[in-house]
Amino acid sequence: MRPGISKILAACAAWGDKTAFLDCSGASLSFAQLHELSLRLGTAFRHMLKGATGRPIAVVADRSVRCIPVLLGAALSGSFYVPLDGSLPEARRRAMLAAIQPELVVGLAEGTSEAGFRYISVDELYGTLPDADELPPVDGDMPLYGIFTSGSTGFSKLVLKSYAALMSFIKAYIETFGFSERDVLGSQIPFSFDASTKDLYTPLACGASTLIIDKGYFAQPGRLAELLRDQRVTSIVWVPSALSMLSRFGVLGHISLPDLKRVLFVGEQMPVRQLNIWREALPDALFANLYGVSENAGNCLYHVVEKSYGEDERIPLGKPFPGTQVLLLDEAGAIIPPDQPDLQGELCIGGEILALSYYNDPEATASKFVPGPPGVGRIYHTGDLARYDEAGDLVFCSRRDHQIKLHGYRIELGDIECAALACPGVDAACCLFDPGKKKLTLCYAGASGEAALRTHLKGALPAYMAPGSLVRLEKMPLNANGKTDRVALARRYCGGGDVP
């Protein structure tokens, strides 16, 4: 049995009164308090579940420090935690709860309830006295937490990940970027996304502090920058749309952020135009692209940006973190070596960071987590197509299901979107293909007129890639996970549902 969550919690208590987490209401938790409260809640969960282990505890999370000991306490009690975003529509939260049937739903507000489930508010749990002897030994290879997949195909599954998988990533992450107890991390990503584990576990592993930033700040870029400056935030891992809030309105030119030395982005393609504004404003900071999927703990690839990119270029996904295996497999399942640039294959992930399984779904688990090529253990096929560049860095090409054939040409819909994004006044782009009518439709949002975009595309793309029609949208529709809702766009503008 390998050590589990109790080990790191006991160890981080040695940082004592140093701040571990703080939020925008002014509340904070020291490492000693975090340890004590997690033990307290762990003991309370143990009593409530009467010794049952290996079952989910759902946590309806907000952006307060109060969430943290709930998550850790659930793990200490021998359960695994499933963070749910408190701002999700109720119907969606219900569907998620129904899918996993948690032993307990923990919320932050009193007086609410979750129909059909055992609900308790955090405040009702604090009365229990912490008793480490009552907590079971928890195996590091058992599930620590569960995250719902992005469900871009409309169906969302709960992926389970172990403490061992997550800590192997966190260790590599801290070593790669040199985090220490002097760092203050500014957390943007909701706890229901795997990417938030970096903000949650980096403090536990190296003594850094994490400021949990309220969602409301991201609609107020000036105040957001002032918060980062005043709290002396040193590192951020944000989604590109959050980073763009500071770059696109000129904030970075007016409010200086002298303490910010690492700017990492994850979750979607970083628009080069916005990245260039960031790099100009913070010439001494480190900028890096991170890549991962829900089926691994943390991230598997990273690329430190060391040169300027053109607006129609893609920032590489980069190279694997230490301890992670990332393979590029061709259609026959053979490994494409890094010294063969420009051969396209599917990104496949292996190594310790791989998730354990889909919860209660052995069939999907068996079909998605498969034996790798000889000498490689279990791997997960991401569905992302990539190639190596001259430097041996992996570069994203497209989603496997976004690659189409038109008039004999193979076309990556992502290439058309990329070209459109380089056009001034285009903020978001989504290209759709109707295989029946053999027609490309480009939907975009932004101030650019259709004629200007058409002229731009003509200069940027071969004629066979030019979209047949352009649709300017007031806003790009997003699915429940904040990604472009291609299904809704296809239904509306492309005459069908099953369009890539």
Partner 1 sequence: MIESNAMKEQIISILQDILPGEDVTESTTLADDGRIDSLAVVELVTEFSIAFDVEIPFSDLVNENFNSAEAMEAMILRLQQGT
Task: Give the footprint of partner 1 on this chain (CB under 8 A).
Answer: 87, 215-216, 218-223, 241-242, 245, 248-251, 254, 427, 445-447, 474-475, 478
In the complex with partner 1, the residue whose CB is nearer, 202 or 241, is 241
3-class secondary structure for 5-22?
HHHHHHHHHHHCCCEEEE
Contact at 8 Å (CB) between 450 and 488?
Answer: no
Least spacing, CB of residue 123 vs partner 1, in Å? 23
- Residue matched to tokens 């990539």: 386
| Neighbour count for residue 97 (Cβ, 10 Å) | 20
The closest alpha carbon to 120, from 39, 192, 41, belongs to: 41
| Neighbour count for residue 359 (Cβ, 10 Å) | 20
Name beta bridge partners: 347: 328
DSSP 174: H
In the complex with partner 1, the residue whose CB is nearer, 237 or 411, is 237
Alpha-carbon torsion angle 148, 149, 150, 153, nearest 10? -120
Least spacing, CB of residue 117 vs partner 1, in Å? 25
Least spacing, CB of residue 125 vs partner 1, in Å? 27
In the complex with partner 1, the residue whose CB is nearer, 176 or 481, is 481
CA 276 to CA 248: how far, in whole Å? Answer: 11
In the complex with partner 1, the residue whose CB is nearer, 323 or 482, is 482
In the complex with partner 1, the residue whose CB is nearer, 88 or 304, is 88
The closest alpha carbon to 417, from 383, 449, 384, 453, belongs to: 453
In the complex with partner 1, the residue whose CB is nearer, 242 or 423, is 242
Name the 3-class secondary structure at 371: strand
In the complex with partner 1, the residue whose CB is nearer, 221 or 318, is 221
CA 318 to CA 369: how far, in whole Å? Answer: 23
The CA-atom distances, in angstroms, between 146 and each of 9, 23, 157, 488 are 19, 24, 10, 27
CA 90 to CA 96: how far, in whole Å? Answer: 10
Least spacing, CB of residue 239 vs partner 1, in Å? 10
36 burial level (CB within 10 Å; 0-12, 13-18, 19+):
middle
Q: Token pair for residue 454? A: 């058409």
398 phi, psi to nearest 5 deg:
-170, 175
In the complex with partner 1, the residue whose CB is nearer, 249 or 409, is 249
393 phi, psi to nearest 5 deg:
-90, 140
In the complex with partner 1, the residue whose CB is nearer, 100 or 476, is 476
In the complex with partner 1, the residue whose CB is nearer, 73 or 446, is 446
Least spacing, CB of residue 294 vs partner 1, in Å? 22
Least spacing, CB of residue 281 vs partner 1, in Å? 13
Least spacing, CB of residue 255 vs partner 1, in Å? 9
Least spacing, CB of residue 217 vs partner 1, in Å? 9
Least spacing, CB of residue 49 vs partner 1, in Å? 33
Least spacing, CB of residue 231 vs partner 1, in Å? 19
DSSP 427: -
